[in-house]
A and B are shown apart, each in its own frame.
Chain A
Amino acid sequence: MSGKYVNDYRQDLRLFRTTPKKVLLVVGLLAAIALPYLIQIQWTPPFGFPWKAWAKAINLALIWSIGAAAFNLLLGYTGQISTAHAAFLILGALTGAVLGEASAGLGWSFWLVLPLGGVVGAVIGALVGLPALRVRGLYLFMATLAVHFAAILGFKMYQVAQVGFTGVRYFPPEVPSFLHWLPFVTPDANGQFLIQGDFRWYFVLVPITLGCLLFMVNVLRSAEGRAFVAIRDNDVAASLLGINVARTKLLAFAVSSAMVTISGVLLSFFVTARSDESWSIEIILDVAIMTVVGGFSTIVGGVFGAFFFFMTPVLFNWIRDLPLFDRFTFIDTYGSQIDLAIFGVAIVLVLVFKPEGLAGVWEDTKRYFRTWPFRY
């Protein structure tokens, strides 16, 4: 019985706990750096395993990790539901479109637009959180839903007025010049330092995502973070202890929305084109899937969830194309529906067998190795 038990939320928050954690950290870092190089290797794996297809999935997962963790901060920690998630992705896309190097943008640097997106997101997020001061649960769900449609309308109006039906194009950002000396930063064929393609984006996204996640972890560890949890558990008791419930709820909305908006800026520049049809209400379901499967009320849960969400379809696609399944044509016909059904089954399995989600499985694995060879 030498395993450390998780029995308070502050322990939940700790990212790296014991001495093996440092080993794990180093191994993880090395793996993270090696990963894109491995994917680049010219090699055809057996059975046509979709080696290359991971690259894009991983980058998307990195971007969406931020949003899933932010959703968790709001719902899992503070107990506030918001369906305005996509609205803040749109806000990020708009910030990039208006200010950044995009079709009709002002051409400001990506590195300026990105944090500005966070500021805009925080302000609008606090405004969107205002209904949370009066209503909760399903009513808040409905109130924030209105924001979703307003945001789509807003983007459409901008698009029609400024760029036309083709949608907004986002141009590749540049590596800031003070980083050009780094050995692994090399100019492309045209002598430019443009961030294009999955390989380069990966090295941009990893630090940004990590930064955002660490920021959220730190917020949650602060007194404000404890106030989030207090409000979720019992808002009357929270106010009795001198917590300003209104202010704290708005703060949670502001932080969460700022993070989602930043991920919206990233997403737009990463996929390079956005239109009013890029966003559907399903986005909130996608984020909910990531949150539940990954692990509710943990920040790493969002990361696990996002990776599950983007990487499993690649795997499914590959399995579907295996010669084994050639005879079952319906599998090709209903491919995406089958993916959704599998997600559904995964959610049910998680809810029944592992309510802590993939983050919980991860904890168990670590505990298993920490206590190895003595099981308890």
Chain B
Amino acid sequence: METGADRGGDGRRPILELRDVDTHYGPIQILKDVTIEIYPGEIVCLLGGNASGKTTTLKTILGYVEPSHGAVFLDGEEISGLPTQERVRRGISMVPENRRLFKRMTVRENLEMGAYLRDDREGIEEDMERVFELFPRVKDRLNQRAGTLSGGEQQMVAVGRALMARPKVLLMDEPSMGLAPVLVAQNFEIIEQIHEQGTTVFVVEQNANMALSIADRGYVLQTGQIVLADTASALLENPEMKKAYLGELE
């Protein structure tokens, strides 16, 4: 098996890497030669407008679509071609667009489902406590059916559920979608906290300002191609970025 790149120079290897990935839906090509590297302990964001291929990138990482060219690596091992559940087992978790909770299960059951692949009871209990620390509100609503939660609460449960798998890399698809500005800010604080606890985060966002304020690095996707890749601070200063995604702030 091919091993992942080692381009950091300092001997570090990306924990997650897309290398030269093309993805098609039938005859239509969505991703074109996409290369993304995420190093352990980073927060990396993927920015881009509607239909630029952000969700498709995540689907390619998890195997809902297979790249027609190129490959995906986790921790140096190729994972493209593996079934989704195997990729999850190896340490990728995702908070999907629109949360996708199990509406008829309670909050607690949703969280427990997050640990579906695990059987270390104490570890699960520990992570459950960790989720309660991040989201005290969730603890108050443990026995409520998830479908009856507010949008913001659902987002918390969705994040909590993903964390219950104790992932190496957490993927998030537009976590601020549909949330009020206060909640968006809170949401990004939570992402920072999760990151501080040692989880690598790859977050897809349209809210470029917010995402870049917490990220180490960012990629910009335009009609399926990476058009910019830089550190977050550089992207915030980039004139093209300012024009296209950040609004004229000066």
User: Is A237 within 8 A of B85, CB to CB?
Assistant: no
**Which of these, A229, A239, A243, contacts B105 with CB under 8 Å?**
A229
User: Is A234 within 8 A of B102, CB to CB?
Assistant: yes
| B101 interfacial by beta-carbon distance below 8 Å | yes
Return chain A residues, CB-CB under 8 Å to B108.
8
**Which of these, B103, B106, B113, contacts A241 with CB under 8 Å?**
B113
User: Is B101 within 8 A of A242, CB to CB?
Assistant: no
User: Is B105 within 8 A of A242, CB to CB?
Assistant: no
User: Is A241 within 8 A of B100, CB to CB?
Assistant: no
Contacts A7-B143, A223-B116, A230-B113; is A242 near B100 (CB within 8 Å)?
A: no
**Which of these, A9, A236, A239, contacts B109 with CB under 8 Å?**
A9
Contacts A7-B143, A8-B108; is A242 near B116 (CB within 8 Å)?
A: yes
Interface size class for chain B? Answer: 20 to 34
Looking at the complex, which of B88-96, B174-182, B186-194, B230-238 is the stretch in contact with chain A? B88-96
Return chain A residues, CB-CB under 8 Å to B114.
241
**Which of these, A8, A9, A10, A234, contacts B100 with CB under 8 Å?**
A234
Instruction: Tell me the complex Cα distance, A230–B89, Å.
Output: 17
| Per-position 1/0 for B68-97, Cβ under 8 A of A | 000000000000000111001100011010
Return chain B residues, CB-CB under 8 Å to A232.
104
Return chain B residues, CB-CB under 8 Å to A237.
96, 100-102
Return chain A residues, CB-CB under 8 Å to B104.
9, 229, 232-233
Give residues 239-288 of A contacting B (CB, 8 Å): 239-244
Instruction: Tell me the complex Cα distance, A227–B161, Å.
Output: 15
**Which of these, B85, B101, B106, B143, contacts A244 with CB under 8 Å?**
B85
User: Is A243 within 8 A of B143, CB to CB?
Assistant: no
Instruction: Tell me the complex Cα distance, A77–B112, Å.
Output: 18
| B21 interfacial by beta-carbon distance below 8 Å | no
Distance to closest chain B CB from A84 (angstroms): 26
User: Is A233 within 8 A of B116, CB to CB?
Assistant: no
| A226 interfacial by beta-carbon distance below 8 Å | yes
The 4 tightest CB contacts between A and B, nearest first, are: A242-B88, A233-B102, A237-B100, A242-B117
